Structure 1
Amino acid sequence: MNDLNLIGQNFKQIRQKIDLTARKVGRLADDIEIVVVTKTVDIEAMKIVIKAGAKHLGENKVQDAVKKQARLDEEVNWHFIGHLQTNKVKHVIGKFQLIHSVDSIRLAQKIEQEAEKRGIIQKILLEVNVSGETSKYGFVPADLMPACEQISSLKHVRLEGLMTMAPFTDDRAVIRSCFQSLASLRTTINGQSIAGIQMPTLSMGMTNDYLIAVEQGATLVRIGSAIFHG
């Protein structure tokens, strides 16, 4: 891990880069939040980044996240960003403000069941495999509209938007196309006026490509290594 003293500085520099990029493309900087990916990070480092201004923390393993939540007193929003198995849903509901990685109707229905038991409404994003890579989870774009229509009937699930991961490549055109496609899908779905579905959120962009994501409309970027190892 980087020198602890540099963590807050790294976070602030990334925030400045996001704000500058947003202004260049005519966006409001306040419309973009950093989800700090803390999956390999200890409590001390997490406290430093929170002190620097971080309000959103992202974890991808349920057990690790729950342990950290018990030890961290600071007021933050927790995001579940990893692949979520249906048998782990009961451990996630109510502990995360937003689940980024809903990749099937079956998983959404399981979240509905567990949220109903707790009497809460769980916010989710649908993960979309825009790139078509077989190694990635997510809905294929053609199945997205029917999925939204089905999920709209769930009373304890609130669909907030879409999430994707671009291919790991240096080809900026490929990355940009991936993010453009996700933004276009959101626009199309919002234009259908599906009852109960209005999606303000686009979760896309990581350490290697977050500024491209900002240019293409991301509202959440998921950044870890550039903050803690940059």
Structure 2
Amino acid sequence: MAEQQVLDVPAIRERLAWIQERIERACRRAGRSPDEVTLIGVTKTFPVAVVQAAYEAGLRHFGENRVQELVAKAAVLPGRIEGGEVTWHMIGHLQRNKARDVVAHADWLHSLDNLRLAETLERRAAMADRVLPCFVEVNVSGEPTKFGLEPDAVHDFLDALAPFEHLEIVGLMTLAAPAEDPEAVRPQFRLLRRLAETYDRRNNPRVQLRYLSMGMSGDFEVAIEEGATHVRIGSALFGPRLEP
């Protein structure tokens, strides 16, 4: 039953073109270039065949929520860190005991949210002789079930990352609260952008905050209007999520 839901290359190509058109329209409304926005296809629970089909359709950035799925799929379609042609983004919550796998297989991490994790990633990245680009995750919605730093803790956390030479802090990431009307979460995206804009880099010059990872299938256009540089699209691209 589940296998019958998997889309083929033409279907994914059609959906990809539809999403890219929506990205372009959102960029025009915001006076931005579509080149500023990276589309990440979220392949959580989907088989590696879907990743391969999306690759054949032209997608090059993929996101995984679970480390074990990232490892399995990167073994078939390696990321750039392993000499491949795609970019793997680890976008889900990360436990410290999985840091080694992320350093080995993920090109980018979107969910850095505590110093103990930063310390572990720093040590693993140093051992691997690499620098790991990281987004700091922020809980802008205030939902107790969500991971991420409280907004008022973000700047102090960025300051505290100064000693970590193998972590490149490239931006902030968030998941907005579920909402039927995307306009309802616009203030949350705006808050993330404001947190990036107001950080005093004199406290940690290596922090760049060039990017904002925000926006998913239901709200990515509003996120782009508010400055998103990376949008994470799953169901709008691949259809309903398959059962694990």
TM-score category, normalised to shorter length: over 0.9
Q: Using the alignment, how far apart are the partners of 2:104 and 2:238 within structure 1? A: 27
**What TM-score does the superposition give when structure 2 sets the normalisation length?**
0.90
Q: 1:19 aligns with which of 21, 24, 29?
A: 24
- 1:152 is matched with 162
Q: 2:97 aligns with which of 75, 81, 87?
A: 87
Q: Show structure 2 runs of 5+ residues with no match.
A: 79-83
Alpha-carbon distance, 1:103 to partner: 1.2
- Give the SS at the match of 1:27: coil
Matched, 1:184 2:194: yes
Alpha-carbon distance, 1:129 to partner: 0.5
Matched, 1:98 2:108: yes
Alpha-carbon distance, 1:171 to partner: 3.7
Alpha-carbon distance, 1:173 to partner: 3.6
- 1:229 is matched with 239
- 1:174 is matched with 184
Alignment of 1:47-196 (within 5 A): 47-72=52-77, 75-189=85-199, 194-196=204-206
Which amino acid counterpart does residue 178 of structure 1 have in structure 2? Q
Cα distance per residue 1:50-72 (max 9 Å; x no partner): 12221100011111211111112
Alpha-carbon distance, 1:88 to partner: 0.8
More displaced stretch, 211-220 vs 146-155: 146-155
Which amino acid counterpart does residue 163 of structure 1 have in structure 2? M
Q: Show structure 1 runs of 5+ residues with no match.
A: none
Runs of at least 4 residues of structure 1 off by over 3 A? 190-193
Q: Using the alignment, how far apart are the partners of 2:218 and 2:180 within structure 1? A: 9
Q: Using the alignment, how far apart are the partners of 2:54 and 2:237 within structure 1? A: 8
- Give the SS at the match of 2:172: strand
Q: Is the 8 A contact 1:94 1:120 kept in 2?
A: no
Q: Is the 8 A contact 1:190 1:198 kept in 2?
A: no
Q: Using the alignment, how far apart are the partners of 1:138 and 1:25 within structure 2? A: 27
Q: Using the alignment, how far apart are the partners of 1:87 and 1:150 within structure 2? A: 22
Cα distance per residue 1:69-115 (max 9 Å; x no partner): 11126610000011100111111103111100111111111110111
Query: CA RMSD for the aligned pairs?
Result: 1.5
Alpha-carbon distance, 1:2 to partner: 5.0
More displaced stretch, 214-223 vs 5-14: 5-14
